[in-house]
Chains A and B, each alone.
Chain A
Amino acid sequence: MPPEIRKPRPKYLALHQIRLPLAGYASILHRVSGAGLFLMLPLLIWLLQLSLASSAESAAMFGAVTGNLLVKLILLGLLWAFLHHFCMGIRILLIDIQIGVEKQQAHASAVAVMVVSLILTLIFGLKLLGAY
């Protein structure tokens, strides 16, 4: 290979230097949210179990676990994760069927996904924390 086209190898991705368009961040967060939901599935299934069990101990346990501040924070995080994943998932499905592929529309929908999922997290999160 002539030296002028030999590229310096190996190449590294300097993650802190990469600048992404907003849709890029929305995409990464879709992955992060999916992974987070996956990792927390045992907690969620356990809570489902406690919420449905008929014994009084389960009811008390459910109250104690969901009343714990750390658990509340985790659930708040998972709430955002689900809402972001949900909204972004719908955006991806729409783009799959050729809706919103244009650069401008794709940017607008990425903004919408971020904003809508944050607003919904606020609305449902305040409910979760018992604010209303």
Chain B
Amino acid sequence: MKRLVVGAHYGLMDWLAQRVTAIFMAVYTLIMFAATLGGAASSREAWHALMANGFIRYLTFLFIISLCYHAWVGVRDIWMDYVQPAAIRVTLHVLTLFALVGYAGWAVQIIWRL
């Protein structure tokens, strides 16, 4: 049996996920931009208050998860386009995944204890 260790055979779901996460991140960006216009970044205290707000923290959590999923699909696509040998490719995929999961934990931990 032919086994694919790497490849885009799970493509449609990931393509859709990349779109959904992109839309969410775009909306989040606009919300944060509006908050900044409203003075949310005018001082450390104001910035802290914004990010500690329950609803914003909920959105930021979703943003972090979206970003990491989005970047996973995107960076994996880039490796698949330029790196052919399966062993190197799978190594790069794993490193990318580890990096992103770690970043997600780090970033969530920053906002979660505010």
Interface residues of A (CB under 8 A from B): 31, 34-35, 37-38, 41-42, 45, 48-49, 51-52, 54, 59, 86, 89-90, 93, 96
Chain B residues with CB under 8 Å of A48's CB are 107, 110
Minimum CB distance partner of A41 in chain B: B103
Question: Considering residues A37, A41, A49, A51, which has the most beta carbons from chain B within 10 angstroms of its beta carbon?
Answer: A41
Contact across chains for B107 and A86 when beta carbons are under 8 A apart: no
A34 to B22, CA, bound (A): 12
A51 touches B29 (CB 8 A): no
Contact A59 B44 (CB under 8 A): yes
- The answer to whether B22 and A52 have CB atoms under 8 Å apart is no
Q: Tell me the dominant secondary structure on chain B's binding face.
A: helix
Taking CB atoms, residues of chain B closer than 8 Å to A42 are 103
Q: Contact at A38–B26, with CB atoms within 8 Å?
A: no
Q: Which of B51, B74, B78 contacts A52 (CB 8 A)?
A: B51
Interfacial chain A residues near B29, Cβ < 8 Å: 86
Q: How far is the CA of A34 from the CA of B107 in the complex (A)?
A: 19
Q: Which residues of B contact A90 (CB under 8 A)?
A: 26
> Which chain A residue lies CB-closest to B102?
A42
In this complex, the member of A52, A89, A93 whose beta carbon has the largest number of chain B beta carbons within 10 angstroms is A52
B98: CB under 8 A from chain A? no
Considering the chains assembled together, what is the distance between the CA atoms of A49 and B19 in angstroms? 28
Q: Can you pick out 23 interface pairs between chain A and chain B where the beta carbons lie within 8 Å of each other?
A: A34-B78, A35-B75, A35-B78, A37-B71, A41-B71, A41-B103, A42-B103, A45-B103, A45-B106, A45-B107, A45-B110, A48-B107, A49-B106, A49-B110, A51-B44, A51-B47, A52-B47, A52-B48, A52-B110, A52-B114, A59-B44, A93-B19, A93-B23
